[in-house]
Amino acid sequence: MLSQGDIDALLSARHADPFAVLGLHADADSKLWLRALLPGAASVELLDAASGKSLTDLLHHRDGFFEARVPLRRKHFDYRLKVRWHDGGEGVYADTFAFGPQLDEDTLIAFREGRELRPHTFLGAHPCAVNDVDGVRFAVWAPNARRVSVVGDFNAWDGRRHPMRLRHTAGVWEIFVPHATVGDLYKFELVAADGTLLPTKADPFARASELRPSTASKVAAPMPMRALPPDRAAANERHAPISIYEVHPGSWRRNDDNTFLDWDALAAQLPAYAADLGFTHIELLPVSEHPFDGSWGYQTLGMFAPTARFGTPEGFVRFVDACHAHGIGVLIDWVPAHFPKDAHGLAQFDGTALYEYADPREGEHRDWGTLIYNFGRTEVRAFLAGSALHWLEQFGIDGLRVDAVASMLYRDYSRNAGDWVPNAFGGRENLEAISLMQTINARVGGDVPGAITLAEESTSFPGVSAPTDVGGLGFHYKWNMGWMNDTLRYMHEDSVHRRWHHDTMTFSLVYAFSENFVLPLSHDEVVHGKGSLLSKMPGDDWQKFANLRAYLGFMWAHPGKKLLFMGQEFAQRDEWRHDEALPWHLLDRANHAGMRNLVRDLNAMYRTTPALHRLDCDSAGFAWISGDDREQSVFAWIRRDGHGGTALVVCNLTPVPREGYRLGVPDDGAAQWREAINTDSRHYGGADLGNGMHTLQADTLPAHGCARSLSLMLPPLATLVLVPA
C-alpha cells in the first residue's frame, strides 16, 4: 500500500511524480496495485477493459484516494475504472495514468533548440485517440514550474486530478486526458518553483477561448491546412493594384441590440460591400483573442485563437472563404511586439519571466503598460513564428500586417537615456527581434506561397521590404507613415497658407521608392481626439468635403498601395468609436453618398489603369511635371506602367478655379486625353467644374519643359486624372 506521506503529497497536489504512484504499478513482490485519485468519488471498481468483468473494488482511504491489489494478475493490462460519484452520477472511464509519454523526444529537443517553428502542432490541446480511447492531449511549456495540472470541465477544475508529466528535455509538461472532448473549457494550474500557487493560466497555444470577461481556453477541433487560392498570389504581388479597406469587425456594423455581428453575418455583408467599392483587400484589426474591447485587439493574449466575440474558428474560415469568393484578399493585424499583464495570460507564466524579458528596461512598454516578448529565447521565437504560420496555414488568409515594428527594432524605443539595455555591440538595435522578423518573413515566403507580410514601421530603418538574403527584414510592404503625417499636416492648413508648406506635400517622393510602400489612412488617424478625416480639413462644410475629395484623389494617384479605414469612404464626421456601429445614416445625405461614389470610382480607375498601379514601387513609374507651383498650390505628375501606358495627374489645392492652366505633356504622353476622374464632379457632391467629357488635344506649345501641353480647367480643391483618349 502507498505510504501515508505519498498519499498526503497527492492530496495536497505537491507530489513530485504522480505518474510513478498512480495507475497500475508492481510492488517489490511483482504484485500489481491500482491507485486512483478521484476527489468527489464515492466508490471505484476496477474492470477488465477487454471483457468488462469486474476485478475488484478499490479501498477508499480518504478525500478521494483509492487503491487495491489486483487479484490474479501479474502483468500490466488494459483496464477501466467504474466510478460512482457522491452526486449520484456514475460512469466507466479510462485512466489518465495508464498512458505513457505522448510527445516524441526528438520533437521536444528540436523545440528546445529552436529548430521547430510550428510548436502549435504539439503544444496546446489536441483531440486525439490513444489505444482506441478518445480524449485530448494537453501540453504546455513551463520549465521553471514545480507542478502543472490541467484543470477544466472534465475534472471539476480540481488540480489534483490531472497533474502533468514533466519532460525534462524541453521543460514541457504533457498529459492525455481520456474522454475530454472538443468544446471543453480548460486552464493550467501551476505551482512556481518557490511553492507559490499561481493564478490559473489560459493556454498560450489555445485555438479557441471563452468570450470575455471569462478567460478559459476551449478545446478546438483540428483544422486542415489551407493554401491560398491560385489567383491570390498574383493579387498580392507588388505589380498588382492593392487597395485595402481596414475594418474593425466589432464596429463596422452591429445588430439592432448593439451586439456584435458574428463571422457568418459579416461574411454575408462585408465582402460584398468591399467588392462593390472596388477594394482588393480587407484588413482586419487584430482578431486574435484579447481581454479588453478597448484595446481593439492590439493587446492580445490568444496568439492562435480567433476571438470568441465573433464566433468560432470555423466561422472565421467561412468568412475568409466568402471574401475570396468575392475576389477580396484578407489581411489581419498581428501583434508580436508585446502582450498585456493580465494574470491569466503570459506574464510570469511559470512564476518567472518566461515569455518576457526579465529586466524591465528590456521587458516593459511603459507607454502601453504591456510586456515585451523575449525575442532572443528560442522557445519564444518558436511561439511567435508558429503563430504567424498558424494564421496563414490554418485559415488561408492572404497576409499579416505586423503591428508596432518600430518598437521591436529599437531597444531605446520610447525610453530615456540610461533606461534601456544596449545590444551586444553597444548599439540601440534589437538584434534578436530583427533576426526573428527575418526568420518569420523568410518562412512565410518559402512555406506559404502567395502570402504577404506588411510592416507598420514609422522610422527610417533601411531595407524593411528588402529581401532577407540581401540583409533586409523581408517584409513585402511597409506602411508609409511619413507620407501620411506630412500630407495630413498639409491638408490641415488653410488653403491661403499652403504655399508656405508646398514641400510637405512633395517630400514623400524623395524616398517613395526606397521601400514597397502602402499609403495608410488608418484607424490611428481617426481616434484619441484626432477627429475624422473630414474634420481635419479646413474651411466651411463645402470646402471640407472638397478638400477631402481632392486629398483622396491625390492619394489614389500617388505611387504606393492604398489603405483606407472604414467610415472614411463616406466621410464620417466624428472620430471612430469602437463600441458602436459606423453612422451609416449619413449615406442618406448627398455629400456623404457622393464621397463613397468617389472612392468606388477611384478604386475602379486604379484597378483598370496599369499606369496607376503597376510601377507603384518603382521610380520608373513616376515623374513630376510640376512639383514647384507653390504660388498656386498646384501639383502635377505623370504615372507610367512600363509598357507605354500613361496617366496625367493634376491637383489644385486652393478654392480658386484655374481656367486655361497649361500642363506640359511628356514626349511619351498621348496626343489626346480625357478625364478619368474629376473629384469636383456633381456625382461626388462637387460643383462639376472641369473639362467634361470632351477630348483634350495636346498643343505644340511648350510647358513644364515639355514640347507639348494641354490647356485645362482646374476645378477648385480638386484632383484630375487624365488618361489617353
In 142-269, beta strands by DSSP E: 147-152, 165-167, 172-178, 185-191, 217-218, 243-247
Amino acid at 403: D
C-alpha–C-alpha distance, residues 249 and 163, integer Å = 39
C-alpha–C-alpha distance, residues 651 and 633, integer Å = 8
C-alpha–C-alpha distance, residues 399 and 331, integer Å = 5
In 116-184, beta strands by DSSP E: 124-130, 133-141, 147-152, 165-167, 172-178
Q: Which of 184, 403, 486, 525 is catalytic?
A: 403
Task: For residue 509, report the phi and psi dihedrals to the nearest 5 degrees.
Answer: -75, -10
The three three-digit cell numbers of residue 637, written as one number = 505628375
8-state DSSP, 13 = T
C-alpha–C-alpha distance, residues 605 and 378, integer Å = 47
Produce one character per residue of 196-230: b if its CB has 16 or more CB atoms within 10 Å, e if not: eebebbbbbbbbbbbeeeebbbbbbeeeeebebbe
Residue 611 half-sphere exposure toward CB, CA atoms < 13 A: 21
C-alpha–C-alpha distance, residues 148 and 95, integer Å = 18
C-alpha–C-alpha distance, residues 306 and 287, integer Å = 5
Sign of CA dihedral 469, 472, 478, 484: negative
Residue with cell 534601456: 420
456 assigned to active site: yes
Q: What is the DSSP string of 348-401?
A: TTTSS-SSB-SSHHHHEETTTTEEEB-TTSHHHHHHHHHHHHHHHHHH--SEEE
Residue 93: strand, helix, or coil: strand
Closest listed residue to residue 124, CA positions, set 216, 207, 225, 212: 207
8-state DSSP, 254 = B
C-alpha–C-alpha distance, residues 21 and 15, integer Å = 9
- Are 283 and 331 in contact, with CB atoms under 8 Å apart? yes
C-alpha–C-alpha distance, residues 523 and 247, integer Å = 9
Closest listed residue to residue 90, CA positions, set 44, 22, 53, 23: 44
Q: Which of 45, 456, 675, 680 is catalytic?
A: 456
Write the CA distances from 108 to 99, 166, 616, integer angstroms: 18, 12, 45
Proportion of the chain in helix, strand, coil states, percent, rounded to 5 = 30, 25, 45
C-alpha–C-alpha distance, residues 470 and 444, integer Å = 17
Residue 171: strand, helix, or coil: coil
Give, for 54, the enclosing helix (H) or strand (E).
Answer: strand 54-57
Residue 333: strand, helix, or coil: strand
The residues near 256 (Cβ < 8 Å, ≥ 6 apart) are none
Produce one character per residue of 141-152: b if its CB has 16 or more CB atoms within 10 Å, e if not: bbbebbbbbbbb
403 assigned to active site: yes
Closest listed residue to residue 202, CA positions, set 84, 393, 26, 344: 344
- Are 339 and 301 in contact, with CB atoms under 8 Å apart? yes
C-alpha–C-alpha distance, residues 35 and 33, integer Å = 7
Catalytic residue ranges: 403, 456
